Amino acid sequence: MESHSQRHVLIFSPSGTAQTLLDMLKRHHWSVSLADTIQQASDRIRQEKPYVAVVILDQQYPGDWLDKLTRLLAQAANINWILILPQTDLVHESLDHKLETLIKDYCFDYQHEPLQESVFLSVLGHAHGMAEIYRHPSQINTPEYARYGIIGHSQPMQHLFQQISRVCQQDEPVMISGETGTGKELVANAIHYHSRRADKQLVAINCGSLTDSLIQAELFGYEKGAFTGAFKRKIGRIESADGGTLFLDEIADLPLSQQANLLRFLQGKTIVRVGGYEEIPLDTRVIAATNVDLKQAVSKGAFREDLYYRLHVLHLEVPPLRERAEDIELLCRYFLNHDLCAASRKARGLSAEALEVIYQYDWKGNVRELSNTLKHAQIMSEHRLIRPADLNLERRQHERASITLEQCRADADRNAIQDSLRQYHNNVSETAQALGISRVTLHRLINKYQLRIE
């Protein structure tokens, strides 16, 4: 990107009153061009493509001048326009319907005279940065902003990148932990595609998406006639990843019976297909991911301790968004100008107020929630910049607060049932008696909370 000293701005001042603003910008090392007619402004925009933000300075709107200005702004919609208006006590005289529409549809921001220097420079810097990213989106993928296809320049992310660079060179199992939506699968992809196995398959499976009866066949494959419906041999996910990498997402959801089978493969590097007898040697690296505290799961008997230590040879923790707040604006720029740029022709960025709301929000769903929120806002927004109301975060925060008590009670019920089932070795009658409920009620709760009984 351009260095600080190379930032450019065009001041468009039909009334020729730009000297104060010109002096301010030069003091802060901005390169400035001037235009005092619409034709001159149009010519400069066409000729001087590096110029990023256009500052309009005028206090009079005679005749059809505003209509001509609107056409100019529409033709240069990729530029972040900042409009300077008269003092606030003159606002009602100036902000007629046409001007309100122009601001809403085309302007990055507007400021009132007299300008507050620090506020104006902050807005201008934001406008410049957003316009640069929109105009040169590939630059956000440079090492300055991202590594391994993962966006972030905060200290926690730099630490994660260093860990990935070391893990890539090894061949041991990897455990990736982190909250929902932090990007654990991106980390798994980075490890595989920067390892010696990059030219082989990366095979992924979500351990929580399959029933107990299917997951063994999915992982290990089966022979023809192994069970009803097995009309031909099927290669399992572990075998499909031979020479490459197997990514086991939500590893905590793997049934205990299959945990033993997975451990056997990790120790012996061989599998036996369901219904088969032949031991098949394989060279498959395993990467697992979870948002669950596996140490706690081990202490509760929900996860095998020996498998935990076998998978935990190399461990990476993906930081939650709240611990990498300095990446938030960078992520917003990326989502608005890369993945989501086709969602709306109008919304090109975030207002300063919307960005502040984003910073204040807790983002329990992490980067995934941020991405989805911005996509919704960009589609629904009717403005040049996304506003706080477009983000709909206030309603979401209220909904979270309203379900807190209900969720806590549900979690307490679920934990009590799980602990009792474990204590009484999944004996439903004894568990129901210990909990003081009927067998029918216990079965209903087991179904409600989708609990497994081995």
Say if residue 29 is in the same domain as residue 175.
no
pLDDT for position 405 = 58
Say if residue 171 is in the same domain as residue 293.
yes
pLDDT for position 156 = 94
Cβ atoms 140, 334 nearer than 8 A: yes
Say if residue 19 is in the same domain as residue 131.
yes
The whole-model pTM stands at 0.66
User: Does any domain span residue 149?
Assistant: no
Say if residue 225 is in the same domain as residue 355.
no
Say if residue 338 is in the same domain as residue 376.
yes
User: Does any domain span residue 385?
Assistant: yes
Say if residue 185 is in the same domain as residue 309.
yes
CATH of the domain at 432: 1.10.10
pLDDT for position 64 = 65
Count the domains in the chain: 4
User: Does any domain span residue 454?
Assistant: no
186 three-class SS: helix
Cβ atoms 304, 317 nearer than 8 A: no
Per-residue model confidence as pLDDT tens for the chain (454 residues):
444 446 888 888 876 667 888 888 888 888 888 888 888 888 887 776 555 556 666 555 555 677 777 777 776 666 788 888 877 655 545 456 777 777 777 787 888 888 888 888 888 887 887 776 666 555 555 555 667 889 898 999 999 999 999 999 999 999 999 999 999 999 999 999 999 999 999 999 998 877 777 888 889 988 888 787 778 888 889 999 999 999 999 999 888 888 999 999 999 999 999 888 899 999 999 999 999 999 999 998 889 999 999 999 999 999 999 999 999 988 988 888 765 444 445 676 788 788 889 999 999 999 999 999 998 888 888 777 888 888 888 766 665 555 555 666 677 778 888 878 877 788 888 888 888 787 777 877 887 777 776 6
- Phi/psi of residue 453, nearest 5 degrees: -115, 115
Say if residue 121 is in the same domain as residue 177.
no
| Domain end (from 251, 282, 317) | 317
User: Does any domain span residue 453?
Assistant: no
pLDDT for position 237 = 93
Residue numbers of the domain that contains 424: 404-448
Say if residue 45 is in the same domain as residue 173.
no
Say if residue 28 is in the same domain as residue 116.
yes
User: Does any domain span residue 140?
Assistant: no
- Phi/psi of residue 11, nearest 5 degrees: -100, 120
Residue 279: closest CA among 289, 268, 295, 291: 268
Cβ atoms 426, 453 nearer than 8 A: yes
User: Does any domain span residue 306?
Assistant: yes
Say if residue 279 is in the same domain as residue 241.
yes
pLDDT for position 107 = 80
CATH of the domain at 128: 3.40.50.2300
Say if residue 408 is in the same domain as residue 397.
no
Q: How far is CA 204 from CA 241, 251, 307, in A?
A: 9, 11, 19
Say if residue 164 is in the same domain as residue 128.
no
| Domain end (from 317, 333, 351) | 317
User: Does any domain span residue 201?
Assistant: yes
User: Does any domain span residue 143?
Assistant: no
**What is the chain's percent helix, strand, coil content, to nearest 5?**
50, 15, 35
274 three-class SS: strand
Give me the helices (H) in 204-360, please: 212-220, 237-240, 256-268, 294-299, 305-311, 328-334, 352-360
